[in-house]
Structure 1
Amino acid sequence: MLKVFICEDNNTKKEKFEKMIRDIIIIENLDMEIGLSTDRPKQILDYLDNNEVSGLYFLDVDLQRQMNGINLAEKIREYDPRGFIVFVTTHAEMSYLTFMYKVEAMDYIIKDNYSNIQSRIHKCILNANKKFLSKTTELQKNFTIKVDDKIISIEFSNILFFETSQTIHKVILHGENRIIEFYSKMKDIEENLDSRFYRCHRSYLVNKDNIKEIDKNERVVHMINGEDCLVSTRAIKGLIKIMESNYVASLTYKKDSLLI
Structure 2
Amino acid sequence: MSLVALRSRIKPTDYIVKTSEFNDIMEAVRHNIGVTLKDLESQNNKRNDYFLYKLRGIYQKVNYKEILFFETSLSDSKKIILHSKNKIVPITGSLKKIESYHKKSFFRCHHSFLVNLDNVYAFNRQQLQIYFDTSCKFSCPVSVRKARELTKILKSKTP
Q: Smaller-chain TM-score range?
A: 0.5 to 0.7
Which secondary structure state, in structure 2, belongs to the residue aligned with residue 160 of structure 1?
strand
Q: Residues 152, 194 of structure 1: CA spacing in aligned structure 2 closer, same or farther, 3 A cutoff?
A: farther
**Following the alignment from structure 1 to structure 2, what is the Cα–Cα distance between the partners of residues 138 and 199?**
25
Residue aligning to 2:21: none
Letter of the aligned partner of 1:228 in structure 2? S
Letter of the aligned partner of 1:237 in structure 2? R
For 1:50-69, list aligned pairs within 5 A.
none
**Following the alignment from structure 1 to structure 2, what is the Cα–Cα distance between the partners of residues 194 and 142?**
15
**Following the alignment from structure 2 to structure 1, what is the Cα–Cα distance between the partners of residues 61 and 101?**
13
Q: Residues 201, 141 of structure 1: CA spacing in aligned structure 2 closer, same or farther, 3 A cutoff?
A: same
Residue aligning to 2:156: 245
- Runs of 4 or more consecutive aligned structure 1 residues displaced over 6 Å after TM superposition: none
Bigger mean CA deviation after superposition, 186-195 or 172-181: 186-195
Residue aligning to 1:185: 94
**Following the alignment from structure 1 to structure 2, what is the Cα–Cα distance between the partners of residues 192 and 179?**
21
**Following the alignment from structure 2 to structure 1, what is the Cα–Cα distance between the partners of residues 60 and 103?**
19
- In structure 2, runs of 5+ residues without a counterpart are 1-42
Residue aligning to 1:114: none
Which secondary structure state, in structure 1, belongs to the residue aligned with residue 65 of structure 2?
helix
Letter of the aligned partner of 1:195 in structure 2? K
Letter of the aligned partner of 1:149 in structure 2? G
Does the CA contact (< 8 Å) of 1:159 and 1:175 recur in 2? yes
Letter of the aligned partner of 2:110 in structure 1? H
What value does the CA root-mean-square deviation take over the aligned residues?
2.0
Residue aligning to 1:149: 57
Letter of the aligned partner of 1:144 in structure 2? L
**Following the alignment from structure 2 to structure 1, what is the Cα–Cα distance between the partners of residues 87 and 75?**
19
Which secondary structure state, in structure 2, belongs to the residue aligned with residue 177 of structure 1?
coil
Q: Deviations over 1:95-133 (max 9, x none)?
A: xxxxxxxxxxxxxxxxxxxxxxxxxxxxxxxxxxxxxxx
Letter of the aligned partner of 2:73 in structure 1? S
Residue aligning to 2:31: none
Q: Residues 192, 236 of structure 1: CA spacing in aligned structure 2 closer, same or farther, 3 A cutoff?
A: same
- In structure 1, runs of 5+ residues without a counterpart are 1-134, 251-260
Residue aligning to 2:73: 165
Letter of the aligned partner of 1:204 in structure 2? F
Identity of aligned residues (%): 32
Which secondary structure state, in structure 1, belongs to the residue aligned with residue 121 of structure 2?
strand
Query: Paired residue for 2:130, among 221, 231, 235?
Result: 221
Q: Deviations over 1:162-221 (max 9, x none)?
A: 011112211000001011101111111212224121000000000111111111011010
Does the CA contact (< 8 Å) of 1:140 and 1:155 recur in 2? no
Letter of the aligned partner of 1:157 in structure 2? K
Query: Paired residue for 2:104, among 195, 216, 229?
Result: 195
Does the CA contact (< 8 Å) of 1:200 and 1:239 recur in 2? yes
Aligned residues, how many?
A: 114
**Following the alignment from structure 1 to structure 2, what is the Cα–Cα distance between the partners of residues 211 and 179?**
17
Letter of the aligned partner of 1:198 in structure 2? F
Letter of the aligned partner of 2:46 in structure 1? E
Residue aligning to 2:144: 233
